[in-house]
Structure 1
């Protein structure tokens, strides 16, 4: 059974969802493997510290965070992964690492990648490493009302930009007094 708070919320909203039991999955990619669906349809929930406050990032399991771009689009100088010890008590009845992507139930702002919103259905950890919830993406978006971001994430297989592969800083990050490399 999913975390009681999540189950009550979904039942009260009268949305269709399905709960599945499966072998322990400690990553969103493992969850995708166990329930035999594409990684783009499994949600990865990442807790971040954003200007001193906890917030939730939600993205397809196969995607990664681009911290520099995420910081830029959220217009902040401070963004980092939150420490599990600092947020574990914010998710009652949830195992650490299995928090459902409903930050609104836990007093957190929710940001999600635009790519996730393009999937017809989603699966995510239901507060446990052995249970997941599957539901329509449109219902998730209606219930959570996340801020949808079209930057700050990389899809799988994306090559590093040439300037990053060579260990350089992004040209936009250089101060005016710093010399730039031709073509960058």
Structure 2
């Protein structure tokens, strides 16, 4: 597998050009950064959440950051928690487990993006497998997420 079918169709439909960056097999966003020799501060990762009413949401943040569920929930006035892993696998069935592309619109899921994502000139995204990253420029990424919520809800972690 390389790029997920839905992600590829979404990018094609939105006329976004990208490069597929192969790397040795990895198991997380941080290990993908190491394998591809890319700064974790340039890799966007997706975390799938659910609120107190069962509504699902994708939170997108930098690979070297952790989500603050309390802060995000407070800003959105929602009680948020991580979704059950099996549900994630079902929602992203064209992806390898744990390699979720961080573009909510491609999967018809509400998304919120951390403001720190647009600091770099280019951004790397999980493409749907554990052997490649997708590189897009900042302007295309901003265009893809323009209708989504943008907040600060993460903090940097030490790796």
TM-score, normalised by the number of residues in structure 1:
0.79
Q: What displacement does 1:138 show?
A: 2.1
Query: Equivalent of 2:71, from 69, 80, 85?
Result: 69
How many angstroms apart in 1 are the aligned matches of 2:87 and 2:15?
A: 33
Query: Equivalent of 2:60, from 50, 58, 61?
Result: 58
Which residue number corresponds to residue 110 of structure 2? 109
The runs of 5 or more residues in structure 1 that have no matched partner are 158-184
How many angstroms apart in 2 are the aligned matches of 1:12 and 1:68?
A: 35
Q: Secondary structure at the match of 1:128?
A: coil
The runs of 5 or more residues in structure 2 that have no matched partner are none
How many angstroms apart in 1 are the aligned matches of 2:83 and 2:46?
A: 12
Which structure: larger Rg? 1
Q: What displacement does 1:86 show?
A: 1.4
How many angstroms apart in 1 are the aligned matches of 2:117 and 2:155?
A: 12
Which residue number corresponds to residue 133 of structure 2? 132
TM-score, normalised by the number of residues in structure 2:
0.90
1:117-156 maps to which residues of 2 (within 5 A)?
Answer: 117-145=118-146, 146-150=148-152, 152-156=153-157
Q: Residue 46 of structure 2 contacts residue 102 of structure 2 at CA under 8 Å; is this kept in 1? A: yes
Which residue number corresponds to residue 98 of structure 1? 99
How many angstroms apart in 1 are the aligned matches of 2:77 and 2:154?
A: 15
Q: Secondary structure at the match of 2:35?
A: helix
| Runs of 4+, deviation exceeding 6 Å | none
Structure with more relative contact order (C-alpha pairs < 8 Å, separation 6 or more): 2
Q: Residue 18 of structure 2 contacts residue 134 of structure 2 at CA under 8 Å; is this kept in 1? A: yes
Which residue number corresponds to residue 10 of structure 1? 11
Q: What displacement does 1:38 show?
A: 0.9
Q: What displacement does 1:87 show?
A: 2.3
The answer to whether residue 41 in structure 2 is matched with residue 40 in structure 1 is yes
Q: What displacement does 1:118 show?
A: 1.8
